[in-house]
Amino acid sequence: MGTCHGAGGLTTLKADAYTTIVEESTLTPDGKSAAYFEVKENGVTVQKAGYVYDAKGQPIYLRRYKDGLTSYIETAYTYNQQGLLTSTTAAGVTVSTAKKHGGTVLTRWDGSIVFIDL
């Protein structure tokens, strides 16, 4: 059983007779994107994360909380002038993505190059 209501969203699910899971998200001030979400199991927060956006509304950071929800792992996103994602960095590892002429995706990760035809 699930319900969804409110600004951003609130979903309540029964995993079993003893476990209630509540997923709650909060929208950005413009109401277009998720700014924050939290998952609770029987009233105890088990997961939370938040996004930081640039002036264009693109996510530039994702913070996933861990270790008792007091520290976080941050993922950073960068974009080119056309607004296309060019790289993602997490835990000191950067994955860069660019498209070559003809739609081939070029991905560079730790010095290795992988070509993928789309």
Q: What is the mean pLDDT of residues 8-18?
A: 82
63 or 82: which carries more pLDDT confidence? Answer: 63
Residues 68 and 52 in one domain: yes
pLDDT at 73 over 80: yes
- Do 73 and 98 belong to one domain? no
* E strand residue ranges, the chain: 2-4, 10-16, 19-27, 34-41, 44-53, 59-66, 71-79, 85-90, 93-99, 105-109, 112-116
Please state, rounded to an integer, the average pLDDT across all residues of the chain: 77
Residue 58 DSSP label = -
Statement to judge: residues 17 and 55 lie in one domain: yes
HEC string of 80-103 equals CCCCCEEEEEECCEEEEEEECCCC
Provide the residue range defining the domain that includes 27: 1-79
Q: Which of 93, 8, 95 is nearest to 50 (CA)?
A: 8
For the entire predicted model, the pTM comes to 0.63
| Single-letter amino acid code for the residue at 102 | G
Query: Does residue 88 share a domain with residue 74?
Result: no
Q: How many domains does the chain have?
A: 2
Residues 68 and 86 in one domain: no
Distance from C-alpha of 56 to C-alpha of 54, rounded to nearest angstrom: 5
117 and 106 belong to one structural domain: yes
Same domain for 87 and 111: yes
